[in-house]
Amino acid sequence: MTAMTPEDAVRHVVATDPVFAIDNVDIRGVTVKAFRNIPPTVPGLMAAGWARHGDGKLEYIAYEGESYSYADYTRSVNRMAHAMRDTLGLGQGDRIAIAMRNYPELLKLVLAVSSIGGVVVFVNAWWTTEELEYALRDSAAKVVFADGPRMDRLKPLEQPLDLTLIGVRDGEGQTAHDYATLLEGAASDQAPDVSINTDDDFAVMYSSGTTGHPKGVVQTHRGAVNAVFSWLMQSVIAPLIDPPAADAPEPPRPSALVVTPLFHVTATHPLFLLSLPAGAKITLMHKWDAEEAVRLIRDNKITRFLGVPTQSAELMEAAKQMGEPLSSMDYLGAGGAKRPAAQVAQLAEAFPNAGIATGWGMTETNALGIGMIGDDYKARPESAGKLHPPVQELRMLDDHGNDVPNGTIGEITVKGPHIMRCYLNKPEATAETVVDGWLRTGDLGVLDDEGYVTILDRKKNIIIRGGENIACLDVEGALHRHPDVLEAAAFSVPDERLGEIVGAAVQLRDGTSLTQQDMAAFLDGHLAKFKIPVHLWVQHDVLTRGTTDKIDRRAIRTACLDNQEAQV
């Protein structure tokens, strides 16, 4: 077989494979390209994957010694969907929250909620009671499935918010409803008969922004499934671009290790949702541990690893120390944060069978965006890659919405069926971000003549700590609660392991002092632990201001990192 260029391979597949045929469609008054023949809804992905999972016989989920076939999974999804309708009285349009660590039940609940036409509200498992209250009030979710630690934080909200709390695993036995009891008492294990429109809401997933409180990103069924099939298409075009030898064995069944939280798109969309039509097995980790990840990859013949760059680096070191080549891996990707350029060649040397990959996407794009793998990435380790075809469009815009020439800094702006419907309850923020169907991402970059994008900076004041987005204003708001803090500025501090961690400069009242330890103790309960500043600079003078008399966060950060010693 003669190798094709990536562009020719895309055109060939779109023209010859009915699964990936595309049409122009109208979404909320905007014309975009979308796949014509894919499942219209997220529950449709489950049925589409039945044959690829051995007609249900193959193992689908592995977790801590537990094993579930695809048929087991499908049966549990359907039974829980009936229990939600019959016992809990839930139905189409109801927002149903999930608050737990990465348990198999989470994967089942996502499809059960969407199977009845409900809307999944993904809750950050690290949030405090205060942060949970904001999201539940904002989403109007009245039913929450929660494990033990989350149940403890939710109990104070049960009466004030009139919540129905449903215990999962170590959360059972604390409320009127338990997951296991609901599942056992379900009336049917057949899929419920529900009519869901492709443009109905699928999920609300919270993403930190510059407004302090996280924004609820509303994703539709069409958006999620178009993202999934865009990734699925990569496996179809890959052998056209790099044809295998005539006597090459059949590739192994895809098998993914989930190491990042399932309340983020990095895990839910390109791993979990993609696994359904791709016929992939899912292995869940109880908690990230590099040595345990090596053992799981070895013993489960994992082919696909996608985590934040820190996890890739720690996996590499653990594999070296344990003498494990992890030869089953054919994909080692990074999401959530940019991987250090020097790490690309190191990973390629450590895992020669794996295509080292990078990706850029957003909660607002259902995680679909830009990426590259293998030699392309090794040759351009500073780049984010190319736009994933074939339904996305890309522009680089200046502050006035005008296109900038290639090689010029512009804001990455994308369009397609995968774009969020809106920010929940935030019409002004939605209108600022989505203009005529184009999503202004807030990320600045440069597009070259070959179509590669290099991301340079963020317009948004966001700290990315090991893949977790932290809004500076969120941290500053919590710091201002302290009675001795007059002003605060939060910013990123470089960290070799996590990429960035939180630092803060504060102006204190005259005659007062504040240590980092005291500050951290004060913020405990107001902020999730990963948001609490690790470095603190204190002063009694006013913080540096810009020409508009606003705090100049960039100048403060530079001064703190260059000229002062922080309390750590």
140 φ/ψ sector (left φ>0, alpha ψ -120 to 50, else beta): left
User: Do residues 503 and 490 make contact, with C-beta atoms less than 8 angstroms apart?
Assistant: yes
52, with CB counted inside 10 A (0-12, 13-18, 19+), is: middle
**How many other β-carbons are positioned within 10 Å of the β-carbon of residue 425?**
14
Question: What's residue 210's pLDDT?
Answer: 47
The answer as to whether 455 is a domain residue is no
The number of distinct structural domains making up the chain is 2
Residue owning tokens 């149903």: 96
Here the tokens at position 463 are: 């700290």
Distances (CA, A) of 472 to 199, 211, 363, 568: 33, 9, 18, 19
Here the tokens at position 347 are: 């990973």
Final residue belonging to a domain, choices 180, 214, 248: 214
CA dist 143 and 2 (Å) reads: 55
CA dist 469 and 454 (Å) reads: 20
The answer as to whether 467 is a domain residue is yes
In the chain the first and final C-alpha atoms are separated, in Å, by 60
User: Beta partners for 166?
Assistant: 145, 177
Q: What pTM does this model have?
A: 0.88
Task: Identify the helix (H) or strand (E) that includes residue 453.
Answer: strand 453-458
DSSP states of 245-265? PTTPPPPPPPEEEE-S-TTSH
Secondary structure, 3-state, 9-65: HHHHHHHHCHHHCEEEEEECCEEEEEECCCCCCHHHHHHHCCHHHCCCCCEEEEECC
Q: Where are the alpha helices (DSSP H) in 351-426?
A: 375-379
The answer as to whether 11 is a domain residue is no
User: Beta partners for 445?
Assistant: 410, 455
CA dist 433 and 121 (Å) reads: 21
Final residue belonging to a domain, choices 174, 195, 214: 214
Final residue belonging to a domain, choices 159, 181, 214: 214
The answer as to whether 524 is a domain residue is yes
The answer as to whether 285 is a domain residue is no
CATH number of 555's domain: 3.30.300.30
Single-letter amino acid, residue 313: A
Q: What are phi and psi of 499, to 5 degrees?
A: 90, -60
The answer as to whether 143 is a domain residue is yes
CATH number of 137's domain: 3.40.50.980
188-197 pLDDT, tens digit each: 999 999 999 9
Q: Where are the alpha helices (DSSP H) in 373-502?
A: 375-379, 427-433, 472-479
Q: What are phi and psi of 394, to 5 degrees?
A: -135, 135
**Listed residue (500, 502, 484, 494) closest to 538, CA to CA:** 484
Domain hosting residue 187, numbered range: 73-214
Question: What's residue 212's pLDDT?
Answer: 63
CA dist 215 and 317 (Å) reads: 36
**Listed residue (265, 308, 303) closest to 283, CA to CA:** 303
pLDDT beneath 70: ranges in the chain: 208-212, 457, 546-549, 564-568
Enter the DSSP assignment of 340: P
Sign of CA dihedral 371, 372, 377, 380: negative
CA dist 490 and 271 (Å) reads: 33
Here the tokens at position 363 are: 């909660």
Here the tokens at position 523 are: 């913020």
The answer as to whether 89 is a domain residue is yes
The answer as to whether 245 is a domain residue is no
Distances (CA, A) of 132 to 127, 208, 471: 6, 14, 16
CA dist 111 and 522 (Å) reads: 39
User: Beta partners for 489?
Assistant: 505
